[in-house]
């Protein structure tokens, strides 16, 4: 009996162990159940999030292929003021597009001279000169027009003279397309329409002023058939000896007979070549340009005291005046200098260069007297 009881207790003890094991397994199962519960809850949350994402995508728009269709019909975005474009804005855009096309057509057909449509994306203005107009634009366009005629005359051997400026078109800041009336003294002073394109370029190599002609021609009767207005290649075609900084005033030795680079211009030469007076006036205009207290004509007339021309081209004496590339040393006086302005006596250096294309002349100008009172030295008179 004792043995049986012992065996029973032993089995019971084993059962206790199994009970403990089962209890442990039960806890593990409970833990696994809790783990499965947490994972299940996590999956449910992810599912909910996924549903939320799908809901957001669904609310945002249809599937990709249809989304493109809906985007084309989407409401216009607000502008910087928070206001959506209106039908008037769309109409304004169409008008701008129409104006832009018309502007381009006129620009192309007239080479820039006859444009009366304002392009909203271009820096552009057109000005018709009044009969007795005075002021800044009159001063500027008269100088520019005369330089354009001089450029044409020097290339064609003509002697066209300015009658009056009709209008100009201004692109950017200093680019002018001028339409003017000119006369030809060789044909009983007949009058005709002339066109000149000129611009002020940024001074280079310490030059104080640079003016360039880009095209000069008699206005063609049929648009698109006139002489070509071509852009400058700047340093292309210009001899290296005429590049770089302007020279200093010439020395005494420069006028020695053995020096064939220089020619002392005679009074008779000045009378025969009125463009020398024009060069002096261009230089005077460059000096006076920022003086808003007086008109340019009030500084005229000028009295040329002396002109010396220098060129590296193989030409003799007065033929140096006709050299395509040359340097001019001017000494002149403005007889009616206003008391508040510049001094009366001036020395200026003017370098004329061309790139070989018809209608192209570049004038670089530098003053040797500056804007201070200057007393002309005897040796330069």
Has residue 153 got a pLDDT over 80? yes
Looking at residue 77, what DSSP letter applies? P
Show the tokens assigned to 53. 């994402």
Show the tokens assigned to 62. 């249809």
Looking at residue 117, what DSSP letter applies? S
Q: Rounded to two decimals, what is the model's pTM?
A: 0.70
pLDDT, mean of residues 335-364: 84
Q: H helices within 202-301, ranges in order?
A: 267-272, 275-288
Q: Which of 267, 270, 262, 354 is nearest to 309 (CA)?
A: 262
Rounded to an integer, what distance in angstroms lies between the CA atom of residue 282 and that of residue 297?
12
Give the model confidence (pLDDT) of 9-54 as tens digits: 445 444 444 444 444 344 444 444 444 454 445 445 444 444 443 4
Coil/strand/helix, residue 330:
strand
Rounded to an integer, what distance in angstroms lies between the CA atom of residue 300 and that of residue 317?
30
Average pLDDT, the chain: 76
Give the model confidence (pLDDT) of 78-110 as tens digits: 555 555 555 555 556 666 678 888 888 888 888
Looking at residue 205, what DSSP letter applies? T
Counting Cα atoms < 13 Å in the Cβ hemisphere of 67 gives 8
φ, ψ (nearest 5 deg) of residue 166 = -85, -50
Q: Tell me the pLDDT band of 77, cut-offs 50, 70 and 90.
A: low
More confident residue, 375 or 116: 116
Counting Cα atoms < 13 Å in the Cβ hemisphere of 334 gives 26
Report percent pLDDT > 90 for the chain. Answer: 36
Rounded to an integer, what distance in angstroms lies between the CA atom of residue 55 and that of residue 122?
49
Report percent pLDDT > 70 for the chain. Answer: 65
Residue 232, number of CB atoms within 10 A of its CB = 18
Across the strands, what pairs with 190? 184
Has residue 203 got a pLDDT over 80? no
**What's residue 108's pLDDT?**
85
E strands, the chain, where? 124-128, 161-171, 175-184, 190-200, 209-218, 262-264, 302-310, 326-334, 345-353, 361-367
Rounded to an integer, what distance in angstroms lies between the CA atom of residue 219 and that of residue 160?
14
Give the model confidence (pLDDT) of 242-275 as tens digits: 888 899 999 888 888 768 899 999 999 999 999 9
Rounded to an integer, what distance in angstroms lies between the CA atom of residue 264 and that of residue 252?
12
| C-beta separation of 79 from 85 below 8 A | yes
Residues 6+ apart with CB under 8 A from 254: 261, 262, 308, 310
pLDDT, mean of residues 291-306: 80
**What's residue 111's pLDDT?**
86
Residues 6+ apart with CB under 8 A from 91: none
Q: H helices within 61-86, ranges in order?
A: 64-72
φ, ψ (nearest 5 deg) of residue 123 = -85, 100
């Amino acid at each position: 009996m004792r043995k049986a009881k012992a065996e029973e207790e032993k089995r019971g003890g084993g059962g206790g162990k199994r009970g403990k094991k089962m209890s442990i397994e039960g806890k593990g199962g409970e833990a696994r159940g809790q783990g499965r519960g947490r994972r299940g809850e996590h999956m449910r949350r992810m599912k909910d999030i996924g549903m939320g994402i799908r809901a957001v995508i669904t609310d945002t728009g249809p599937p990709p292929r249809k989304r493109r269709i809906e985007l084309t019909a989407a409401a216009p975005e607000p502008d910087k003021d928070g206001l959506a474009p209106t039908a008037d804005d769309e109409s304004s855009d169409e008008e701008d597009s129409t104006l832009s096309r018309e502007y381009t057509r006129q620009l192309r057909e007239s080479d820039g001279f006859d444009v009366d449509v304002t392009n909203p994306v271009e820096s552009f203005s057109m000005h018709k000169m009044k009969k007795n107009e005075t002021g800044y634009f009159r001063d500027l366009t008269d100088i520019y027009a005369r330089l354009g005629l001089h450029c044409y005359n020097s290339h064609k051997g003509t002697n066209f003279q300015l009658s009056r400026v009709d209008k100009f078109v201004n692109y950017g800041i200093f680019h002018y397309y001028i339409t003017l009336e000119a006369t030809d003294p060789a044909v009983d002073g007949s009058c005709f329409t002339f066109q000149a394109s000129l611009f002020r370029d940024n001074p280079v190599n310490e030059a104080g002023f640079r003016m360039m002609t880009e095209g000069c021609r008699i206005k063609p009767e049929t648009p698109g058939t006139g002489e070509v207005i071509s852009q400058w290649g700047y340093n292309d075609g210009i001899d290296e000896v005429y590049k770089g900084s302007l020279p200093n005033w010439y020395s005494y030795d420069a006028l020695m007979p053995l020096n064939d680079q220089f020619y002392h211009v005679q009074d008779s030469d000045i009378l025969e070549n009125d463009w020398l007076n024009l060069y002096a006036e261009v230089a005077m205009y460059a000096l006076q340009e920022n003086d808003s207290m007086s008109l340019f004509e009030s500084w005229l007339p000028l009295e040329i005291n002396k002109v010396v021309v220098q060129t590296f081209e193989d030409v003799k004496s007065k033929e140096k005046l006709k050299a395509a590339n040359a340097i001019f040393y001017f000494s002149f006086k403005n007889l009616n200098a206003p008391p508040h302005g510049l001094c009366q006596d001036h020395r200026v250096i003017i370098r004329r260069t061309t790139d070989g294309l018809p209608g192209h002349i570049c004038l670089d100008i530098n003053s040797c007297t500056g804007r201070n009172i200057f007393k002309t030295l005897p040796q330069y008179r």
